[in-house]
Amino acid sequence: MSNARLMQGNEACAEGALAAGVRFFAGYPITPSTEIAEIMAEKLPLLGGTFIQMEDEIGSMAAVIGASLTGAKALTATSGPGFSLKQENIGFAIATEVPCVVVDVQRAGPSTGLPTSPAQADVMQARWGTHGDHPAIVLSPASVQECYELTVQAFNFAEEFRTAVIMLMDEVIGHLREKVELRENLAVVDRKKPSVPPDRYIPYVNDESRIPAMANFGEGYRYHVTGLTHGENGLPTGKPEVAGKFLQRLTHKLDPYLDRIQRWEEVELSDAELVIVAYGCTARPVREALGAARREGLKVGLFRPITIWPFPSGEIAKLGGRKFLVPEMNSGQLVGEVERIFGPKNIHRYNRIDGELITPGEILEKIREVMA
Amino acid sequence: MFSEISEYFRTEALPHIWCPGCGIGTVMQALVRAIKTLQLDQNNIVVVSGIGCSSRMTGYLDFNTLHSTHGRALAFATGIKAAKPELDVFVVMGDGDAAAIGGNHFIHAARRNIDLTVIVINNSIYGMTGGQSSPLTPHDKRATTSPYGNLERPLQLLAVAEAAGATYGARATAYHNQLLTKVIIDAYNNPGFSVVEAVSQCPVSYGRRNKFKTPADMLRWQKEHGIMKGRQEIGDEEFLIGEIFRAQAAEYTREYEKLRQRLQGGER
Ligand SMILES: Cc1ncc(C[n+]2csc(CCOP(=O)(O)OP(=O)(O)O)c2C)c(N)n1
């Protein structure tokens, strides 16, 4: 049976969260993300879950972490200014390894910016917005279908790797309506529970997996959760050797899993002389421009990072020797990651920061210019 | 006797960080004695704290404990209680934690009348950061950031709680620690947002700057200035102790459960 429906990116994101088993949402209204909260307010109590509108985004992020500690899959959604407010507690979730998903439907900033024109300017904030060294998983959907599927994936990553996962959407994708297939057979992952009795439970054990099993509050495993740097027993420590071991594990905990985490799409890359690296809403005009460019005999392809963090540098490195073009709706954020691999030579940029979309025509013109 | 209540402590986390003469340990003991008297299931108790000297308490207690971020303890606790209402959730905060950076969460948690038992340890100062003035520092008193005396007036935290919709408010002191235990029990038994202001002493960062020679002087001050509710007039620097207010109102998580039930019955 086909489960195809016409819906908005934000709706598809909410549906994805429900398919992943979300049972708690805390949020604060902000365009262009509010539809997600509205859908959660309607659906969660029907499913035995909880929706709460908090007094601000800081509180929303805190409530989500609290709920997750009791075992609930928990979500919050916001945009620009709200994403800024959530940062301290996102760091708390990462440091205490409490699974949760944060949706940021990007709008043009800085500050209140151009409400609510599109932008892709939170790429670096999604990576480094909270202070201190930390791992990050950030997903960037380019279609309504992906809003659905990647939200399920975001929860799976959050649960498996015990971290805050960011769904970095944008105003275009969030408000775009297109056909989506609500596939029901998507794999759903739940956090690993302790396999030992409470007296043998080591809440932040540093073993090979780098991901400790997580007991939920109220299940008989009493332990301490703190944003202070802690040892394997969860208690704060000032000892450099204990702190160092914890921070090494935390900051490198995704390393053994990169192959499974990193996702990207390749379009017509095999003979491409110019590789366009584009993500989110900007990948859409690029896709259109490719056809026109090919008809002109220009050998162009698209590399679309889906996990923008961890950035798939290894894959892009395999494309060495070609020219690159990185169009972005910001003044050049992810392009720096491409330059980090190859240096600035032969890496071209195309940026718009006026709240207007990049058009296929603009991309085509840029392709011609770069390949001339 | 410590042995009576030692089962509730993580002895491996000791020694604690508090200075000699600090009142936070006394408040911790009152909380633990209240929990013992109430005979609550240790596995079902969550204690949430913010950041500060007071908030370090959670590390020493053998419950499900969450040492969260500065000012946000109530928002974390709201998520816990809303997601799993059967848990007994206590929240411990300093006065800066609760009234300054966390003031907005305090108002809104009270407005929801969510069933949390909240202890605000009021030592009149920012202890952890070394003695800056807090929203509860009395007028004219000295702190490192009010070196000429505090120009501002202190917040009446329990009055704020009542006005915002909390359904239980009480005050006691580290000196009146049996009263403190009693009001924590009453706060727990009130099915709604319940606040206990525990007046405490910080000899190092507050006492020294404000003419208290010893911690004992500060306890004596608490004894002499804490006036049991009931007396009509209170003098300068005096404050009421005991149950300050009590009210009836719908509790948030119970209302939410009613909504779920209603929806399951097909009603919208
Ligand atoms: C966002 C943030 N701002 C500031 C601080 C620094 N800080 C730590 S504790 C504290 C105040 C502590 O005072 P209080 O809440 O009254 O608790 P006490 O230490 O007196 O128990 C401050 C400002 C912080 N940790 N986080």
What is the rounded CA–CA span in Å between residue A316 and residue A307?
13
pLDDT band at B196 (very low <50, low <70, confident <90, very high): very high
Mean pLDDT, residues B218-237 taken together: 92
Interface touch B84/A48, C-beta < 8 Å: no
Taking CA atoms only, the protein residue closest to ligand 1 atom 4 is B70
Tokens coding B189: 């038994």
Residue B235 reports pLDDT greater than 90: no
Banded pLDDT at A66 (limits 50, 70, 90): very high
CATH of the domain at B113: 3.40.50.970
What stretches of chain A show up as alpha helix (H) in DSSP?
A: 9-20, 34-43, 57-69, 80-96, 123-128, 144-161, 171-175, 240-251, 258-261, 283-295, 313-317, 335-342, 360-371
B132 lines ligand 1 (CB under 6 A): no
Q: In what order do the strands lie in the sheet with B45-49?
A: A224-226, B64-67, B45-49, B88-94, B117-122, B194-199, B168-173, B239-246, B226-228
Apex B90 CA angle, B85 and B95, nearest 5: 135
Residue of chain B nearest A24, judged by CA positions: B83
**How confident is residue A62, by pLDDT bands cut at 50, 70 and 90?**
very high
Does the pLDDT at position A48 exceed 80?
Answer: yes
- Is pLDDT above 60 for A1? no
Can you give the residue ranges of every domain in chain A?
4-181, 264-371
> What's the rounded Cα separation, in Å, for the pair B149 and A353?
50
Look at B82 and A46 and tell me if their CB atoms are within 8 Å.
Answer: no
Quick check: pTM over 0.95? yes
For residue B33, give the H/E element and its range.
helix B24-38
Span A245-256, mean pLDDT?
98
User: In this structure, are residues B81 and B87 in contact, taking their beta carbons and an 8 Å threshold?
Assistant: yes
**What is residue B2's predicted lDDT score, i.e. its pLDDT?**
79
CA A343 to ligand 1 centroid distance, Å: 44
Residue B267 scores a pLDDT above 80: no
> Which tens digit of pLDDT belongs to each residue from A317-352?
999 999 999 999 999 999 999 999 999 999 999 999
Q: Does A188 touch chain B (CB under 8 A)?
A: no
Residue bearing tokens 């998983």: A137
Does the residue B10 lie in any domain? no
Per residue in A195-240, pLDDT (tens digit) is 999 999 999 999 999 999 999 999 999 999 999 999 999 999 999 9
Q: Is it the case that residue A3 has pLDDT exceeding 90? A: no
Q: Is B198 helix (H, G, I), strand (E, B) or coil?
A: strand
CB-based contact A74:A100 (threshold 8 Å): yes
pLDDT number for residue B230: 87
Residues of chain B neighbouring A58 (CB-CB closer than 8 A): 72, 75
Q: Do the beta carbons of residue B140 and residue B149 sit within 8 Å?
A: yes
Task: Say if residue A151's pLDDT is above 90.
Answer: yes
CATH architecture of A264-371: 3-Layer(aba) Sandwich (3.40)
Residue B4 falls inside a structural domain = no
Average pLDDT, chain A: 97
Residue B1 lies in a domain: no
Q: What are phi and psi of A367, to 5 degrees?
A: -60, -45
Average pLDDT, rounded, for chain B? 97
How many helices (H) does chain A have, and how many strands (E)? 13, 15
Q: What is the DSSP string of B82-93?
A: HH-TTSEEEEEE
Who among B63, B67, B81 is closest to A228 (CB)?
B67
Whether A331 has its CB under 8 Å from any CB of chain B: the answer is no
* Residue B262 confidence (pLDDT): 96
pLDDT tens for A205-216 read 999 999 999 999
Which of B69, B257, B263 should one mutate to test binding to chain A, selecting the residue with the greatest count of A CBs within 10 A?
A: B69
Q: Which amino acid residue places its CA nearest to atom 6 of ligand 1? A: B129
Mean pLDDT computed over A181-188: 93
B80 vs A46, A70, A222: nearest CB = A70
What percent of chain A has pLDDT above 70? 99
User: Quick one: pLDDT at residue B198?
Assistant: 98
Instruction: Say which CATH topology domain A4-181 has.
Output: Rossmann fold (3.40.50)
Structure tokens at A218: 């109220």
pLDDT band of residue B99 (cuts 50, 70, 90) is very high
**A74 near A25, Cβ under 8 Å?**
yes
B206 lines ligand 1 (CB under 6 A): no
Q: Indicate if A264-371 has the same CATH topology as A4-181.
A: yes
Ligand 1 pocket mutation pick from B121, B128, B197 by most atoms within 8 angstroms of CB? B128
Q: Provide the ipTM.
A: 0.98
Range of the domain at B139: 17-264
Q: What is the DSSP letter of B182?
A: H
Quick one: pLDDT at residue B3? Answer: 87
d(CA B202, CA B221): 13
Residue B106 CA to residue B203 CA, distance in Å, equals 27
Domain count, chain B: 1
Would an 8 Å CB–CB cutoff place B185 in contact with chain A? no
A24, A28, A50: which to substitute to probe chain B, counting the most B Cβ within 10 Å? A50
Does A116 or A75 have the greater pLDDT score? Answer: A75
